[in-house]
Each structure stands twice: as C-alpha cells, then as structure tokens.
C-alpha cells in the first residue's frame, strides 16, 4: 500500500503514536496532516523525527487517505459523524506487519491493528476498530464498530463484542460470551458471562458495577 499523504482526523497522543509506529514498521513515511479543530481535544504541537507533521484546520477530506487519530470509542464516533465518513471516504486500514491475521477474517474500514495481534479464522472486525498490541482474538468472533481493544487482551472463540466498547488491558473473555454496545470492561477482568449494553463491568469474575453514562 502506497501512502504519500495521510490525513488524521482528531488528536490523541497514544493514538497518533500508535499510527506512526505502524507506518514506521512498514517503512512508510507519508506527510501527515492532523485535522484538530473539532473542539473535542486540546490542540498541541506534535513532532516526530521521521515524519513531516502539520496540524491544520482544514475540514476538506475529499479524495484524501484518512484515518482516525483518537482512541475513545465515543470520540471516534463523534469525529466520524462530523466528517460524515462513509464508504465513499478513502479510509485506510493500518495493520502492523508483525500481526497474524487469518485470510478468512473480514475487516471493515478505518481499522488500526498494532503489533503482535493474532486474529483467528472467520472473525469479523467492524469499521473504526482499534486493536492494540499483544491481543489474541479467537475464531468466529464479531467485534462491532468503534470498539477499542487494549493491550494484552485475550478473546476466545465465538465471542460477540458490541459497538463502541472498551476492553481493558489484560482482560480475558471466554468462549461464547456476548458483550453489549457501549460497555466498558475493566483491566484484568475475567469475563465468563454475558454483559449487557451501556454498563461498566470488571473483576474476576467480571461483574456489572454501574451504568456507563459517558
């Protein structure tokens, strides 16, 4: 994949660092345009020794190669709605070459997959999903749009994770579990039973703590 210029929508330092690390691992050094006039996050200067980075207020993304530069599912959804991202937008999937993804996996658009990720066969990954490093995803799993999978997560087979979820660092999700939309699973949790929509849950075993009102 050749990328001469990449437009990143929104700014979040962990996300930007992750994107640039993936590009660097591929030996790709496009000029980077970060559009960050959305009023969602503070604008700040960002420098990198290998990339020419410009932070702009340009809202025109017509025929540009685009990815999202924010981590939280709610913010990513807002950003995508502001820019009216759809199948006609040139959304880029940034996937580390050091990840192992079965050729039967179905990938949406605008996906970011960091290093040392393993995704087994017949899994479906929705649009705008962020998967961080050292994640294992089992067969026939479905992950909904905008979801963030943090480092060290292990997801067994036949799991369903809804849209807009956050799965915390080192969480373990056993076979056949379903997690509802907009739900947060805390770091280190062991998820053995289904978790509904719009809740915060954590622990070993994972239990519902409160509603997710963020």
Q: Tokens 């006039």 map to which residue? A: 37
As a whole number of Å, the end-to-end CA separation of the chain is 37
DSSP 152: T
Token readout for 177 is 């579990």
Q: Tokens 């703590």 map to which residue? A: 209
11 in Cβ contact with 41 (< 8 Å): yes
List, in sequence order, the alpha helices (H) in 100-139: none
Q: Tokens 């622990």 map to which residue? A: 203
Catalytic, 139? Answer: yes
Q: State how far the Cα of 49 lies from the Cα of 113, in Å rounded to an integer.
A: 23
The SS3 call for residue 16 is helix
Token readout for 7 is 């437009």
Q: Which of 48, 122, 139, 140 is an active site residue?
A: 139
Q: State how far the Cα of 7 lies from the Cα of 58, in Å rounded to an integer.
A: 10
How far is the CA of 181 from the CAs of 117, 184, 199, 213, in angstroms?
A: 23, 9, 9, 12
Instruction: Give catalytic residues, as residue numbers.
Output: 139
């Amino acid at each position: 994949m050749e990328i001469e210029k990449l437009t990143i929508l929104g700014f979040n330092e962990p996300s930007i660092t992750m994107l640039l690390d993936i590009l660097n691992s591929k030996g790709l050094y496009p000029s980077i345009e970060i559009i960050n006039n959305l009023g969602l996050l503070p604008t700040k200067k960002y420098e990198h020794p290998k990339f020419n980075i410009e932070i702009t207020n340009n809202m025109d993304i017509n025929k540009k190669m685009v990815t999202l530069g924010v981590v939280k599912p709610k913010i990513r959804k807002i950003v995508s709605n502001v820019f009216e991202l759809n199948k006609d937008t040139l959304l880029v999937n940034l996937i580390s070459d050091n990840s192992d993804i079965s050729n039967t996996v179905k990938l949406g658009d605008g996906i970011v997959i960091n290093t040392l990720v393993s995704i087994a066969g017949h899994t479906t990954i929705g649009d705008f999903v962020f998967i961080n490093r050292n994640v294992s995803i089992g067969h026939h799993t479905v992950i909904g749009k905008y979801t963030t999978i943090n480092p060290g997560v292990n997801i067994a087979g036949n799991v369903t994770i809804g849209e807009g979820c956050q799965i915390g660092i080192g969480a373990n999700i056993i076979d056949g579990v379903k997690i509802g939309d907009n739900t947060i699973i805390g770091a280190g949790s062991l998820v053995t039973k289904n978790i509904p929509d719009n809740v915060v849950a954590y622990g070993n075993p994972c239990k519902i703590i409160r509603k997710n009102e963020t």
